[in-house]
Amino acid sequence: MQQTSIAHPYLDAARTILPEVIALRRRLHRVPEVGLQLPRTQALVLDAVRGLGLDPVAGTTVASVVATIEGAGPGPTILLRADMDALPLIEETALDFASEHVGQMHACGHDTHVAMLMGAARLLLDDRASWHGRVLLMFQPGEEGFHGARYMLEEGLLDQSGGERPSGAFALHISTLYETGTIDVRPGPMLASGDTLRITVRGRGGHASAPHTAVDPIAVAAEIVLALELMVTRRVDAFDPAVVTIAQFVAGTTTNIIPETAFLAGTMRTVSAARREAVKADVRRVCDGIAAAHGATVELEIEPGYPVTVNDDAFAALVLDVAREVLGEEQTRLLPAPIMGAEDFSYVLEEVPGAMAFVGARPPEVDPATAPMNHSNKVIFDESAMAAGIATYVGVARRFLSGG
């Protein structure tokens, strides 16, 4: 599907400023930084926010940026979020604005998120005489596993607007899963929780020629891997799903030694808090039971990751309605199921009713079956899709501030 030629004031305005938005995105793309401290990225964002005539506030414990846009008079506050951090990858896109930081890349499109939100902020500022309330701009580091949103909340993010705390929150995430220029959203669970599993099996080492004199942790660990797969298919309701993936298996030093230990690591994902707790208990039971059956011991660590990202039903309906109005029916999708990736915007949505939506950015000439996805070091986003993202940010904010 190609982008439609629908005309709407927000979309037209977004297309007008798109060259400047693209230029900012490319500046950010060249200097990706990983984690919670992003000095060059933060400096670029601070300069861009000041360039809009706003007074940004830099984070004290993490490299965040917060700013507030005041409307024409009193009203509610909406939070709009963009994440800023990159991933530890060596970029292989051959773009002329590719990463200058070897081993770091904006492979999840966070550079486009910052640029889109900055574009939306400009349009909201240009027209602020016609709306009431406040827009709280949240530029956050550390989304890629570093809990950046949680740190910002602990710093008092929701009280930084200078007025009423946000009563709505919205974020966009770019993706090559979807056709360029589409907005894709659903009510309820949007993305999964994500916890890390680390399993150490301890047996008794020995000579590979006499396994009966040892307790082989490799065999026990292998059985645990298979049992976890079976556990998901037989213990988990298909309509309240879970994904348990063991992605690392380390054991042994050579061919003729049964080692003392084997190490497994992986991820556990669910789309409800109840299922999350149930799967944790099931994983522990499987590990303990299999180890005990073979005379081994097991140490299980479950490192909590992000909660389930749950879209508020009414806010998701607002996003869908705005996207249909601004972009057209063909460019708006109600997703049939959650995505099993995880997002730390979930922390914000635990505090404020709101939603996250995807903006499609798969280049139209790319085969959907082979298009590099987010987190690939070859991923390329169609920059024209950012106009749809800007217009959606503006439309959602304006609709929310007008009372729906």
223 three-class SS: helix
Q: Is 347 a catalytic residue?
A: no
Distance of CA 151 to the CA centre of its chain: 16
Exposure string over 332-370, b if 16+ CB within 10 A, otherwise e: bbebeebbbbbbbbbbbbeebbbbbbbbbbbeeeeeeee
Helix (H) or strand (E) holding 100: none
CA distance from start to end of the chain: 30
Amino acid type, 297: T
How many Å apart are CA 404 and CA 402, to the nearest integer? 6
Q: Which DSSP helix (H) or strand (E) runs through 391?
A: helix 386-401
89 vs 63, 122, 333, 372, CA distance in Å? Answer: 21, 32, 31, 14
- Give every CB contact of residue 87 below 8 A, 6+ residues apart in sequence: 32, 34, 104, 105, 106, 107, 108, 144, 375
Cα dihedral sign, 105-109-112-116: negative
The answer to whether the beta carbons of residues 363 and 182 sit under 8 Å apart is no
Q: Are strands 183-185 and 332-334 parallel, antiparallel or unpaired?
A: parallel
Dump the DSSP string for 142-183. -TTTS-HHHHHHHTTGGGTTSSSPPSEEEEEEEEEEEETT-E
Copy the structure tokens of residue 25: 């995105």
The active-site residue, picked from 179, 343, 383, 393, is 383
Of 151, 306, 347, 393, the active-site residue reads 306
Choose among 63, 24, 59, 28: nearest CA to 42.
63
Residue 223 catalytic? no
CA distances (Å), 226 to each of 165, 195, 250, 283, in order?
48, 19, 16, 12
Name the token pair of 27. Answer: 């500046």
Which residues are known catalytic residues? 306, 383
